[in-house]
Amino acid sequence: MDSQTEYLLSLRAIRERAKIVADATHAGELSHFDFHEDLLGDVADFVTSVIKFPDMVSSFQRDYGPDKFDTIPPHGRWQHFDLGNVPRITALIRDWKVDAAKCDNYEVTRRLVDLFFVSVLLDAGAGDHWRYIEPSTEREYERSEGIAVASLYMFQSLAFAYTEHESDKVPLVNGKLLIERKGLEQLRTDVLEQGFQVSDSNSMLGIASRGDLLRSLGRSLLAHPDIFGNEGRPGNLVDYMIKTAGGSSELDIITLWDTLQTLLIPIWPKDRITIAGKAIGDAWPLQVLQRKACSSHNLTDSIQPFHKLTQWLTYSLMVPFQRILGLQWVNAESLTALAEYRNGGLFVDLGVLQLKKEALNRGLKESGGLLPMFEAGDDVIVEWRAVTLALIDELYKMVLSRMDGVHLTMAQLLEAGSWKSGREVAAKHRPETKSSPILIKSDGTVF
């Protein structure tokens, strides 16, 4: 793999390329959006108010508030599993630890990594109409949290495990791998449809692509036995990361990132952008960068990487290492915001970003409705996502200056601030669907 391709797969490239887009944003050189910088302070005020005074601002319940900012969890999948204030992960760990001899804290962490892996990779946009009814509570959930709860039930039913006979699939059998590469390789799309309660009246975007993604994951796990073992278990990442730490209590985000990228880049759809025949994942050509690189003969200079699901997985996997094993992470500041519709929708709904007339009309024509729609690789969407990364970095500094000396990590800002603020505003503007202000044709692997 050449050095430029390696660069596009790196964490460093995501922020560095987004910084170029930030400069273009402030210079009024965006292709598809008008930037209203004067409203950025209003966004910072709103996000800060959601963090500081959740009960006054929010229609969504919070677990923190004034004088409890240190309890804000980092952005990650764990919280989604506990939707509705039901401690599903705590209950799961309690059940596992009934047999403490077979399930110590290392095995608990392995099993959580197993779960988080598949749940995050299934967590692309589900669409505005999909719903999941939890069997044990009859509560109805939607979007990312609904996918989390549904994937948890599939995990417990051994939907991702390999057995010779369907009758062997007894939940949580001691000693049985809950997830391994054979189970993923042989996963049928109809099993996913059943697990997600998909029907003619309850459709989910990209369900077939999600199945393809997990089957590809199974094959990729097999290709890295030095990390994931001969059985291709995601949870074996725990042992690998501890080994790389060499006895230290600190783990390196860069090591985790490089490991995940090596595993995941081969699994993404084959029709994505390639450089010299090598896939580069969630990275796309962008006109703003093309103009800045007009004198360059290097194609990679015009590519904006995001690697959103890999970042979402990285944020999520950090948590069990910390909570269960007490290990800490270095270089966590290398992670960026997530280039997805909640963070991006915040800036559109509050007027900081406004689609130019040509882009708006084209998007409305495509959707045939009241909201514009574009393909995931459309330059409008790529620009929107890149500007989102740039603006969240600016917003982070502005919010910290309003927090009266309280320091939040980027992961805490995403959790308590920008992501939830984006959802808050979407629910206010579009109460029936709570959708993004700009719609994306999802293939089940982006957003």
Beta strands 278-279; 283-285: pairing state: unpaired
Distance CA 180, CA 194 (A): 20
In angstroms, the CA 316 to CA 74 distance is 8
81/239 Cα distance (integer angstroms): 24
Asked if 324 and 56 touch (Cβ cutoff 8 Å), the reply is no
DSSP 199: B
Is 81 a domain residue? no
Domain count, the chain: 1
Give DSSP secondary structure letters for 383-417.
HHHHHHHHHHHHHHHHHHHTTTT----HHHHIIII
Sorted by sequence, the CB contacts under 8 Å of residue 207 that are 6+ apart come out as 189, 192, 193, 196, 198, 444
Residue 425 lies in a domain: yes
Alpha-carbon torsion (149, 153, 156, 161), positive or negative = negative
The predicted structure's pLDDT at residue 175: 47
Residue 415 near residue 426 (C-beta atoms within 8 A):
no
Closest C-alpha to 221, from 213, 232, 229:
232
Question: What is the separation of C-alpha 337 from the centre of its chain, rounded to a whole number of angstroms?
Answer: 10
Could you give the CA distance from residue 177 to residue 400 in angstroms, rounded to a whole number?
43
- What was the pLDDT predicted at 102? 78
- Four-CA torsion 424, 426, 429, 431, nearest 10 degrees: -90
CA distance 207 to 192: 7
Mean pLDDT in consecutive groups of 10 residues from the start of the chain, 447 residues: 85 96 97 98 96 64 64 90 90 87 90 94 84 92 91 92 54 55 90 95 90 93 94 94 95 97 90 83 94 73 94 96 96 95 96 98 95 95 98 97 93 93 94 91 69
In a domain, 235, yes or no: no
- Pick the closest to residue 20 from 287, 337, 292 (CA basis): 292
CA atoms within 13 A on the CB side of 383: 27
Two tokens at 32?
């598809």
Each residue's pLDDT tens digit, 285-294 = 999 999 987 7
The kind and range of the H/E element at 346 are helix 341-349
Q: What are phi and psi of 336, to 5 degrees?
A: -110, -175
> Do the beta carbons of residue 123 and residue 214 sit within 8 Å?
no
439 falls within a domain: yes
Q: For residue 199, tell me if it sits in a domain.
A: no
User: What integer pLDDT is reported at residue 292 of this predicted model?
Assistant: 81
Q: Would you state the pLDDT for residue 265?
A: 92
Q: Do residues 346 and 276 touch, judged by C-beta distance below 8 A?
A: no
Which phi and psi angles does 355 have, rounded to 5°? -60, 135
Question: What pLDDT, in 10s, does the model give residues 387-400?
Answer: 999 999 999 999 99
For tokens 């993004």, the residue is 436
Spatial separation of the C-alpha atoms in residues 16 and 374, rounded to whole Å:
26
Supply the range of the domain harboring residue 437: 1-74+284-311+329-446
Q: Is residue 272 part of a domain?
A: no
Longest dimension (CA), the chain: 64
The pLDDT of residue 443 is: 67
Distance CA 207, CA 124 (A): 10
DSSP 204: -
Q: Are 151 and 194 in contact (CB under 8 A)?
A: no
Residue 446: predicted pLDDT: 65
- In this structure, is residue 441 part of a structural domain? yes
Domain assignment present for 360? yes
Q: What is the pLDDT of residues 333-370, one digit of tens each?
A: 999 999 998 999 999 999 999 999 999 999 999 999 99
CB 350 within 8 A of CB 43: yes
For the chain, give the mean pLDDT: 89
Rg (CA), the chain: 21
- The whole-number pLDDT of residue 289 equals 95
pLDDT tens per residue, range 189-232:
999 999 999 999 999 888 998 999 999 999 999 999 999 998 89
SS3 284: strand
Give me the pLDDT at residue 173, please: 42
pTM value > 0.85? yes
